[in-house]
Amino acid sequence: FNSNFPENTNYLLKIDSEGNEIWNKTIGSVASNNILYSVLQTNDGSYIMTGFHTSASNSERNVWLVKTNSQGDVDWSQMGVVGTGQDTKQTQDGGFITTGYEYPNVLLHKTNAQGQIEWSKSYIGGGNNYGKSVQETEDGGFIITGYTDCCGGWQAFLIKTDSGGNT
């Protein structure tokens, strides 16, 4: 990687099957603290990423979704609920489901195809809880996996919801 990239930017690199670079992009701003944790290729060949964004004037983290086209150019960037996004998947309706956390809660929020929030839920446990992965289920609901420190040590958890995020 090139060390000349500015701080607080994210580096997106596309390679071919032999590891040769096809293109690279930087996403983010040096005027804010932003980190993207996951990337997924969508059904149309574009990419969706999630993490968090913190503006220079506000220390509060907001879930950050970024969608690019197939060449890595940003189509849209949306800040969501307070917290950190860890994983995003495309849903059957073309929108996106994101899990993450805002201490001590696990977050789950559903957006439309343009990243606008349709609904948002939080799940409270007995300690600090981290939503790490989400998947849409065959019945149109969602499952979230993650971990918690509620019981005197780190424990895995699984949350199953309906299509509206209700457990």
pTM (predicted TM-score): 0.88
Where do the DSSP E strands lie in 56-154? 62-68, 74-82, 84-90, 96-102, 105-111, 117-124, 129-136, 142-148
Per-residue pLDDT reduced to its tens digit, 59-99: 788 999 999 999 999 999 998 888 999 999 999 999 999 99
